[in-house]
Amino acid sequence: MEKLVIEGGQRLQGTIRASGAKNAALPIMIATLLAPGEHRLTNLPELADVSSTLSLLGRMGCPSLVGDSTKIDTTRIAFNEAPYDVVRKMRASVLVLGPMLARQGEARVSLPGGCAIGVRPIDQHLKGLEALGAKFELKGGYIHGTAGRLRGADITLDFPTVGGTENIIMAAVLAEGTTHLRNAAREPEVVDLCNFLTTLGAQIEGAGTDVITIEGVTRLTPASRPYPICPDRIETGTWLCAAAITGGDIEITDTDPAQLTDVLTKLQEAGCTITTSGTSIRCQGPETLRPFELTTEPYPGFPTDMQAQLMVLATLANGESTVTEKIFENRFMHVPELCRMGARIDAQGNVATIEGVPTLTGAAVMASDLRASAALVLAGLSAQGLTEVLRIYHLDRGYEHLVDKLKGVGARIARISDAVREESVMLAALDA
Ligand code: EPU
């Protein structure tokens, strides 16, 4: 396996192009199942989760060809199943339930089980699909769903779940009649999915609000033009934090400032100077960061996927910050690792109190989820000395070309075998 080696203390400066959003790409790739034929997607990021989704589609009988414009052929579906070995690696696989029930009348999906950030049940997905007429039974760890033609329904979610909203929309677009989905998730990735479905002929209103209305149609057809995946707001936010934490100056291009309003406000509160123009955001980090309070919430509130990265800024602020996590029950795995780098954090339940320190010091650290790993990279960029970030397969799931992008703005970072222990070899890798 490999690890990242980072020598902290460089002031990062330059431009980074935002990649396509992982969390928009995954549901959109799965939504191609709804319309038999050849689909073309552009701005698809090169990520492990994208490859896993293409391989899942391949196992269902839908081949793909990766390129600047990736082709997915969903003419025939040979197997109605998302097997355990794929779902285990990538929970988003449960999103095949909606499209498969709508197109095939059957879907077998391994139950995802818990993951590092919490139990993550899918009760709201199932409740919505049942309201549309699907029936489910649990056998051997698999959810087996069957349905005749789905029928539109009035559905109110208990919580605005992102995946649940996406699954229900994908089922409802081919249902007979009208579906009103209330308390729906408003995340930009849900809007991107709805925009994509509209290019296939779906009739959807209210995407981006908490009531989405879907008028079912009898068939969908692939669009004649390639569909561009929206920019990744979480990747954008992560690189803005890299500027903030190194007192640097980074401009992110090809992004959408409107999707990051809350993150930008928080960065300003922390003392950063933020300038937006069109599709770019520039962040100039301050000499000393200021403390802040943040609470994660469904969009348009502060995103849980940026919580760990902001917490790293708080570790270096001149005072006490508090961070409250309200979306997932176990999303503080970065805390003990940051403490190993010298951070002073007291986490009680879902509230972390962070007393800023003047500097962090490099250490060997590891995390068990994607955003926690990103936080450790940020900590390493500012820390004194060498930081080794282990288990980087998490980062490969969500950050395209991470090493090249950070090197491009002046970071001392390299990817090497995790068997390497000698400091001299690590330093040589940074100079290569
Ligand atoms: N929940 C339920 N029942 C359900 C569905 C969700 O109780 O039926 C709970 C979950 O357990 C969790 C909360 O609701 O506590 C939020 O879950 P949600 O369904 O909104 O999240 P998701 O669809 O599983 C997506 C992203 C996550 C992101 C969350 C929240 C994808 C592929 N994943 O997950 O992204 O954190 O929305 O915004 O879109 C990441 O990129 O690192 C990541 C974890």
Query: How far away, in angstroms, is 162 Cα from ligand 1 center?
Result: 6
Query: How far away, in angstroms, is 301 Cα from ligand 1 center?
Result: 14
Closest residue CA from atom 25 of ligand 1: 162
For the chain, what is the radius of gyration of the CA atoms? Answer: 22
Q: Render pLDDT for 312-325 as a digit per residue (tens, 0 to 9).
A: 999 999 999 999 99
Q: Where are the domains of the chain?
A: 2-19+231-431, 22-228
Q: What is the pLDDT of residue 115?
A: 67
With the most atoms of ligand 1 within 8 angstroms of its CB, the residue from 124, 191, 327, 396 to mutate is 327
Answer whether 2-19+231-431 and 22-228 agree in fold.
yes
Does residue 118 line the site of ligand 1, with CB under 6 A? yes
CATH 3.40.50.1000 fits 2-19+231-431, yes or no: no
Q: What is the pLDDT of residue 247?
A: 98
Say which of 115, 272, 283, 339 is annotated catalytic.
115
Nearest to 272 by CA among 210, 322, 316: 316
Query: How far away, in angstroms, is 431 Cα from ligand 1 center?
Result: 40
In the structure encoding, which two tokens stand for residue 209, read together? 């609000």
Catalytic, 115? Answer: yes
Strands lying side by side in the sheet with 38-42: 64-65, 69-73, 38-42, 227-228
CA–centroid distance for 29 within its chain: 14
Q: What is the pLDDT of residue 89?
A: 86
In the structure encoding, which two tokens stand for residue 245, read together? 């934490």
Closest residue CA from atom 13 of ligand 1: 327
Query: How far away, in angstroms, is 163 Cα from ligand 1 center?
Result: 6
Does residue 394 line the site of ligand 1, with CB under 6 A? no
Does residue 53 line the site of ligand 1, with CB under 6 A? no
Nearest to 223 by CA among 68, 92, 31: 31
Query: How far away, in angstroms, is 377 Cα from ligand 1 center?
Result: 23
Atom number in ligand 1 closest to CA 92 = 32
Contact 42, 228 (CB under 8 A): yes
Q: Identify the CATH class of 22-228.
A: alpha beta
Atom number in ligand 1 closest to CA 160 = 20
36 vs 46, 104, 183, 221, 285, CA distance in Å?
25, 11, 31, 7, 49
Query: How far away, in angstroms, is 271 Cα from ligand 1 center?
Result: 30
Residue 415: beta bridge partners?
4
The answer, as to whether pTM is greater than 0.95, is: yes
Closest residue CA from atom 36 of ligand 1: 305
Does residue 256 line the site of ligand 1, with CB under 6 A? no
3-class secondary structure, 17: strand
Q: Render pLDDT for 176-216 as a digit per residue (tens, 0 to 9).
A: 999 999 999 999 999 999 999 999 999 999 999 999 999 99
Does residue 327 line the site of ligand 1, with CB under 6 A? yes
**Neighbouring C-beta atoms of residue 97, cutoff 10 Å:** 27
Q: What is the pLDDT of residue 114?
A: 57
Does residue 94 line the site of ligand 1, with CB under 6 A? no
27 vs 37, 287, 315, CA distance in Å?
17, 41, 35
Does residue 54 line the site of ligand 1, with CB under 6 A? no
Q: Which residues of the chain have pLDDT under 70?
A: 113-115, 117-119
Region class of 327: left (phi > 0), else alpha (psi between -120 and 50), else beta: alpha
